[in-house]
Structure 1
């Protein structure tokens, strides 16, 4: 693909990911970009009076976001073009009582969030970010984002001399082996608690909040190594959280670039990596409640959904050159080979022949190559928000994504052409009228 097209797109993608170490920061960054593009922020607690021709967005829990372009067309006649992704990624989360002391070192207690590839978290320069909830001057709970930005923690490996079997037979105890190291415990100092460290960081960010006023927090550790284009010909994107911030970014860019009379919706929800069963997850009511408020009449809402379609965008497993046998021989997506249609007979993906045919047609019209992924029959298949959203709101859905290596590692790898290609297809999807419905 033309480097003049891909390079600016990928540079901005890398900036987006770097600005989004947690779902809270990703949602704030998307909200900022939407506001700059002229979208109006609405709040779920307010009464809505959405106007034809309006562009709106709404957030929930500061970690999920929904953006909607409301054209002048009748919803029940045209339906809605929907793209879904998720804001969360597997990581280490800080425990509520985080202070851990061991042989003169201060550590931070963590728990595993999602299907983390744990061995990749050793010996990385880690920082901490997330959301703090504190008591304000009126003794009311208030929240704000925090980001240490610089490396403040590390999980050191055990030396090979102390574990001679490490390269042959190694297992990781999630309770004992991955507690990050923060600092040497100050001698004769029992006052430096984790909350005190948070208070000091907030002061550096311009917020004076006493440690005693911090009520709780939701914090993640993250790798401070910046996203980068790598490879001899810069053919690959190496970054944390490609699953699934890449799809959030692609969906957002497609939404902002598309024009035409189609109603367009982007929804990026939290908690996909742990099943989506939350108020702000895809298994929760956020999308359905939005549709109920948008289309109060049940008949009109059902007619709208019958004419609607969702693209669930999440990363796909590219065929790894060192582990070719892990793929079905006829379904081996290549990095930079184009977006992947994900299929599973047991509904782990929501793709069917109708939605797959629609996506293939769009790829053909956009001049984009398309690939397919099906798991080996003797291996279990992961899942996405696709089947969940289809079941929750009853909308036709397809699961797609860009091929990726090292999914759920602290640093994943994708092709530098694929995100741009997926954006081109989703932009066409957002603007092109589609006739849906089976013929008998």
Structure 2
């Protein structure tokens, strides 16, 4: 039987496979679950929800992951680390990108196995000089990170999280709105009673980017303005000045918790499925790798939503630098750049990122024969136009997925669609790269939906990849 994955919803735990259905005809993962698998899916999804509730930005994802992997015996990679089979190591790049490594029995020069995912998500950010006062309110000016439908971000509870770096070299962590006792922040929309002059706006322009400024406060002091009261609050509570916000990375993210969806609890709604589904799976799967044949690497990277930019994005040399360090420390006498390039040539990568799934209300945007459906497994992305992995690498991928009884489907956009992954950046270093995903409804919205069985399937697929020869 193709054992596929999933969820332990109390209503469906009694599901069994009808005897009239041939095993090879099973497409929906729920129909192939044993009771023990249901429990595994449920347990994994509960852990996933708990983790992403805290890890909402790249900064918090890295800090939460560091705590998790250190509890599992990983040590920081240093110039004195022993690159020996079974060694568990991690490296952090500027608090915003990270690699986890389990050294294989084969030398690193024989190539490595990399599961790469991004840890940033679409959000609203503060401008460098954000604070101003208008019509009795104190507001922060904002801009957007990643593609989004702006109208989805008004009238929802938002939290302000991130860090402020001061001139003396210290930094202050900010986290307001996630705790249930915290205040939230909000961007108010116009009421339908007074929006007549704006009703002709369409789609992305319903709310324009410059209309996403967020209300911070509305109460003046006896002898001070609302704006001055905000300045006083920041100084009193965080010992930061308004000028310090120039050197800050502060994000506005939905202040809503991940929740089960459906009477059968078969799905999860959450902020940040893109790409926390993949990045959490990449972390969890490598924690279970003991002593692989080929060195296993989880690569967690920032800034995919804005084009893989900066020294913490996939375009950075950080990943190649890390592999270079492993090569050198494993055999310093034989290291040279040619050896590094040969190692990259032998390396296999899965670039893992979610993608839109078939929406029951708008199925026409897909050509359904090549459309990814919730509950039917991971997606092998076939873009066409020169973006696909080569056919031999796709065949190699199909083989280990089938051998591990992992349900998969293909995903190809209808016509021309937008979007990208970290895969193209990694393939520029001559590594074999294939794009994986799982289908998500409402991608890039503040509260997207994914199937628990697919969330779990991504994790099992990564485990199979790391140990495949």
Q: With structure 1 as the length reference, what TM-score do the two structures score?
A: 0.89
Note the C-alpha offset of 1:300: 2.8
| Contact 1:127–1:222, Cα closer than 8 Å, also in 2 | yes
- Aligned counterparts, 1:100-179, within 5 A: 100-135=132-167, 140-148=168-176, 149=178, 150-164=182-196, 169-170=201-202, 171-179=205-213
Q: 1:69 to 1:194 in 2, by over 3 A?
A: farther
Rounded Cα–Cα distance in structure 1 between residues aligned with 2:411 and 2:242: 52
Rounded Cα–Cα distance in structure 2 between residues aligned with 1:358 and 1:195: 59
| Contact 2:124–2:143, Cα closer than 8 Å, also in 1 | yes
Q: 1:256 to 1:122 in 2, by over 3 A?
A: same
SS at match of 1:51: coil
Q: 1:65 to 1:168 in 2, by over 3 A?
A: same
Note the C-alpha offset of 1:163: 1.6
SS at match of 1:192: helix
Note the C-alpha offset of 1:69: 1.1
Note the C-alpha offset of 1:266: 0.6
C-alpha deviations, 1:166-189, integer Å up to 9, x for none?
677443353442111122141442
- Aligned counterparts, 1:16-415, within 5 A: 16-42=51-77, 47-52=79-84, 53-77=86-110, 79-135=111-167, 140-148=168-176, 149=178, 150-164=182-196, 169-170=201-202, 171-187=205-221, 188-190=223-225, 192=228, 194=230, 196-202=232-238, 209-211=239-241, 214=244, 216-259=247-290, 260-295=292-327, 296-347=335-386, 349-377=387-415, 379-391=416-428, 393-415=429-451
Q: 1:22 to 1:198 in 2, by over 3 A?
A: farther
SS at match of 1:368: coil
SS at match of 1:225: coil
C-alpha deviations, 1:82-109, integer Å up to 9, x for none?
0000011111001111112111011111
C-alpha deviations, 1:294-323, integer Å up to 9, x for none?
224234323322322000000022111111
C-alpha deviations, 1:236-263, integer Å up to 9, x for none?
1100011011111000111011233321
SS at match of 2:398: helix
C-alpha deviations, 1:227-284, integer Å up to 9, x for none?
1111111111100011011111000111011233321001111010111121110011
SS at match of 1:400: strand
| Contact 2:157–2:185, Cα closer than 8 Å, also in 1 | yes
C-alpha deviations, 1:398-419, integer Å up to 9, x for none?
0011111111111111111111
SS at match of 1:418: helix
Rounded Cα–Cα distance in structure 2 between residues aligned with 1:381 and 1:102: 37
C-alpha deviations, 1:324-365, integer Å up to 9, x for none?
111123211111110001111234x45232222222222212
Which 5+ residue runs of structure 1 have no aligned equivalent? Answer: 203-208, 434-440
| Contact 2:102–2:289, Cα closer than 8 Å, also in 1 | no
SS at match of 2:445: coil
Q: 1:244 to 1:115 in 2, by over 3 A?
A: same
Q: 1:99 to 1:345 in 2, by over 3 A?
A: same
| Contact 1:237–1:416, Cα closer than 8 Å, also in 2 | yes
Residue aligning to 1:205 = none
Rounded Cα–Cα distance in structure 2 between residues aligned with 1:342 and 1:194: 48
C-alpha deviations, 1:104-123, integer Å up to 9, x for none?
01111111111022111111
Note the C-alpha offset of 1:422: 1.4
Q: 1:107 to 1:356 in 2, by over 3 A?
A: same
Note the C-alpha offset of 1:384: 0.5
SS at match of 1:161: coil
SS at match of 2:159: strand
Picking from 37, 42, 45, the partner of 1:10 is 45
Note the C-alpha offset of 1:72: 3.6
Picking from 450, 455, 461, the partner of 1:419 is 455
Which 5+ residue runs of structure 2 have no aligned equivalent? Answer: 1-5, 7-36, 328-334
- Segment of structure 1 superposing worse, 292-301 or 81-90: 292-301
Rounded Cα–Cα distance in structure 1 between residues aligned with 2:217 and 2:66: 35
What is the CA RMSD across the aligned residues, in angstroms?
2.1
C-alpha deviations, 1:39-71, integer Å up to 9, x for none?
11236xxx3544213211111121111111113
Q: 1:196 to 1:363 in 2, by over 3 A?
A: farther
Rounded Cα–Cα distance in structure 2 between residues aligned with 1:48 and 1:326: 54
